[in-house]
Amino acid sequence: MWKASAIAGLVAAAIVFPLIVTVNYFLHLAILALIFVMVAQGANIIQGYTGYVSIAQGAFMGIGAYSSALLSMRLGLPVWASMAIAPMITAVAAVIAGYPSLRVKGHYFAIVTLAMNMVVFIVLVNWISLTKGEPGLPSIPSPEPINLGFVELAFEKRRPYYYLTLTALLAVMTIVTLIVRSRIGQVLQAIRQNEVFAEAAGIACWKYKLFAFVFSASLAGLAGALYAHYMGFINPTPFSADASLNAILAVILGGSGTLTGPLVGGALTVLLPEMLRVAEVYRLIAYGLILILVVIFLPRGLVPALADLAARLRGNKSKRGAA
Partner 1 sequence: MIIDFLQQIFNGLVVGSIYTLIALGLTTIFGILGIAHFAHGSVAMFGGYLAFFLISTLGLGLLPSFILAMLCGALLGVVLERVAYYPVRNAPPINSFIIALGLTLIIEKTNLLAFGVDQVIIPTPFNRVFSVGGVTMPELRIYVLLTAAVLVGGMTLLIQRTWIGKAVRAVAQNRPTAALMGINVNSVSMFVFALSSALGVAAGVLIGALFAVAPGVSEGLVVKGFAVLILGGLGSIPGAIVGGMVLGVTEAFAAAFISSGYKDVISFLLMIAVLLVRPEGLMRGKAR
Which parts of this chain interact with partner 1 (CB under 8 A)?
A: 47, 53, 100-101, 103-104, 106-108, 110-112, 114-116, 118-119, 122-123, 125-126, 241, 245, 248-249, 252, 256, 281-282, 284-285, 287-292, 295-296, 299
Nearer to partner 1, 41 or 101 (CB): 101
Inter-residue contact 230 to 295 (CB < 8 Å): no
Nearer to partner 1, 34 or 53 (CB): 53
CB of 193 to partner 1, least distance (A): 12
What single-letter amino acid sits at 307? A
CB of 271 to partner 1, least distance (A): 17
Nearer to partner 1, 291 or 306 (CB): 291
Nearer to partner 1, 125 or 170 (CB): 125
Distance between CA 105 and CA 46 in Å, rounded?
12
Nearer to partner 1, 116 or 190 (CB): 116
What single-letter amino acid sits at 4? A
CB of 112 to partner 1, least distance (A): 6
CB of 119 to partner 1, least distance (A): 5
CB of 163 to partner 1, least distance (A): 33
Nearer to partner 1, 24 or 126 (CB): 126
CB of 116 to partner 1, least distance (A): 7
2-20 vs 24-43: helix crossing angle, rounded to 10: 140
Torsion of CA 79, 84, 89, 91, to 10 degrees: 150
Nearer to partner 1, 52 or 155 (CB): 52
Nearer to partner 1, 106 or 138 (CB): 106
CB of 214 to partner 1, least distance (A): 18
Nearest to 219 by CA among 178, 172, 187: 172
CB of 165 to partner 1, least distance (A): 27
